[in-house]
Structure 1
């Protein structure tokens, strides 16, 4: 054997002892670390720091903070880490206007209940009471001491199925069109029990039918854009689409094309020219 390759047992023993000592020290340090961590966790969970110190509510409009907090079951005695989001969601599902709930936990012990409510599509008017209609078809209890202006008012509606049908049609419209509607009256006719009359925020009146309402009403902005700025009147959308001015009895527009929101305005003075030709 070559020189320098042979290591005597006496030389190896101190190194083995040192290696075992280092290994034992590492185990001891690991054991002590785990032990102290467990002690700290026990102290933490027994201390007020592990309990909820602050409960906030966000996203709610029709349900008060107090109602949501009370029904959620979260209190100052609740463990910060033991709150079950599914249990909170199930508890708050009793509110018909609440669609979804999420919990936002912020260290060390703050909880925010983030609420997503169903949108209001309209209000049913009965006397001086206004009952919100939600996008899920539910009608809430009347509001107290307020006049709503964030959704159309439904007036002269009595049957639940008709109200639900109207709400579904409103949900199919973009917000820009829905926000332009002030009031929707149920004005049934012999030929159409679903006939309605709308009063718009821009001064126009619309005659339409619930069954074809969303399909035709989606073109309302394009129709209005073709009318003279100062001309106000009735936009008929029952079968064809035409405009009738408040200032004169005759129609001021011809039927629109079937595939678009185009109104062909009747030229002013047409009747006068025809009379002159007859002369």
Structure 2
């Protein structure tokens, strides 16, 4: 047992020493600055209930020399500043949203992106044959809807962009004033917020675009440092995945393991 622990610890210490070489940091205090957004229940500002993705990341780097700080900002800015190397990592993109960043093997969750309409609206989104006739749709600026991205860019008369900040509240307000009749957002976050607002019965899911993995993405401006962090991340996630820790974290938010 002791031998197996030593085999696990030694590679991690080697990884951590490479961080110091790359950045000139004290190996006892490796700073990891993470750019992110307020996106409950996945990532929340409230440190008492920080969101399941944020909790998983904290679990990954627990008992290491890595000190994490989370910096909340608009999504487009978060992506751009990690790409420029002003922050070390980004939470929590799908790969198509930030393709130039570096990604670990293990994902932090899954994202289903769905269309929502008034409860009495008969419209349904059909992924194999989508029709947006008589639709005005709100989407998040900077979000990728994968195979719909080109269609969206070619039909600005249909799609309206809003930033992440208070997206659900603003989208509902626009629906109530008949400025639009549809919004598209991530399923977990939409249903979490509608429940908190007491409006779960007022809107319905009209169909989903896709389900894709969410990641912690690392800056590519210092590949040696980022690759060392990625190696550590994957080593720790491999260990955590053998326990029920992720399921326990998700249970706090009324969710289940996506795997």
TM superposition score category, shorter chain reference = under 0.3
- TM-score scaled by length of structure 1: 0.21
- TM-score scaled by length of structure 2: 0.23
